[in-house]
Amino acid sequence: MASEEEQSSLEEPSPPRTPTSWPSQPLLLDPAYARSKSVIHDELRSFRVFLQWCALDHSSPAARAASYAAFLALALAVPAAVTASLRADASLSPASASAVTFNRVATLTASGLAAVSFVTMAVFFRRCGGLRQLLFLDGGLRDDTAFVRRRYERELDRAFRLLAALLVPALCVEAAHKAVFFFSTVRVDPLLPLPHVPWRAVALVATVASWVYRTGVFLLVCVLFRLTCELQILRFEGIYHMFDAEACAAADEIFVEHRRIRTQLLATSHRYRVFIICCLVTITVSQLGALLVALSSQDGKSFANSGDLLVGSSVQLSGFFMCLFGAARITHRAQRIVSIASQWHMRMLSAAPHHGKPAVSTSASDIDRVALTAPLLPGAGCDYKSRQALVTYLWHNSGGITLFGFTLDRGLLHTIFAFEMTLVLWILSKAVVFS
């Protein structure tokens, strides 16, 4: 009797689980949730932790308010208060006056880039709704191949390591410079002097914390842009594999996949174009301003007085060129697909069986005439037209990241470099006079 009851209980389907009947085992460990919207493995966990530590989490009204408060305090109030309290003291260092000037230029540039980056992040979270939507991971990479998923998970880890590799060494150098700057180069006179308060130490800690926040916000946006480009590059490599003979992919399948990537590239261009242009203008003006200040100063240049410009310029240029190189890479991947599609179309045309051996000709009109008039297999004419339409579509939609219609490729990078060099040489010709 007991065995029959046990057997009947095994045959009866178990009722659906309700919140009160869920086991004590966490849902993240339940195999039923494997790869379901990446719940069992959050690929963006490192970035979410970094957002929380940098007070950039906009997931709730309270977190959004704390984020705006942190930005006003660390990116605007603290640098302004510390800069206003600095005084040149020739008894401490002969280059004290130039050190204060260099510090103001570096502080203004870092605050400007932090403001641009913070506004960009705030707009991202308001329009996209979250970090996963921003990186086009709405479906948890379920629409992509296993090759793209594996490579992209490695790119996520690599991107966070790159962020740490840029931020940590620069932080060590900046902290060493600020220690020398506050304790042996300038004098600190606070706006509200209080007795028995180590104002030099307070200014040092506040300045380093502000620098970490401003630099972290800027580098985070640069890394996110590079990560978005890397995902699209991997997806383009997935399309390249679709042109292989073993894949046997149809033209309509390739068109749908390319259309999806093209839509995401347009969205990426619209999201980051203002950020890239604002960074270009800010960095250009700051570099030219630093050059003018350095040329007009009669003091000797050393790590104590000009270390701000050294560290700030290195970090800013590294992040900005990271964006430019990432955009140029994906643009050339998008342009390369036209050549691959043309070779695929010609290979399929040459491999198509037909009666008789046509005359060898390299003319496009002759190839079309032979392909359309030769007795191919049933449906081959439709396949030819589909492939020809796909090649034509890719030819007219081979752009990558654009800035208001200008394709961000190596040609535009060369133009930007020539423009920057022209400005620098012009300023040098006005400031340096050889007698």
Q: How confident is the model at residue 313 (pLDDT cuts 50, 70, 90)?
A: confident
Q: Can you spell out the DSSP letters for 192-234?
A: S--TT--HHHHHHHHHHHHHHHHHHHHHHHHHHHHHHHHHHHH
Distances, alpha carbon 129 to alpha carbons 30, 47, 60, 124, 125, in Å: 27, 15, 11, 7, 5
**Minimum mean pLDDT among 40-49, 121-130, 168-177: which range?**
40-49
pTM, rounded to two decimals: 0.78
Helical residues (DSSP H) of 54-85, grouped into ranges = 61-71, 78-85
Structure tokens at 372: 């359309």
First to last CA, the chain: 113
Q: How confident is the model at residue 40 (pLDDT cuts 50, 70, 90)?
A: very low
The CA-based diameter of the chain, rounded to the nearest angstrom, is 113
Q: How confident is the model at residue 80 (pLDDT cuts 50, 70, 90)?
A: very high
Please say if the pLDDT value at position 175 is more than 50: yes
Q: What is the pLDDT of residues 200-248, one digit of tens each?
A: 889 999 999 999 999 999 999 999 899 888 888 888 888 888 887 665 6
Say how far apart CA 298 and CA 10 lie, in whole Å: 90
Please say if the pLDDT value at position 73 is more than 90: yes
- Tell me which amino acid residue 152 is: Y
Cβ atoms of 169 and 190 closer than 8 Å: no
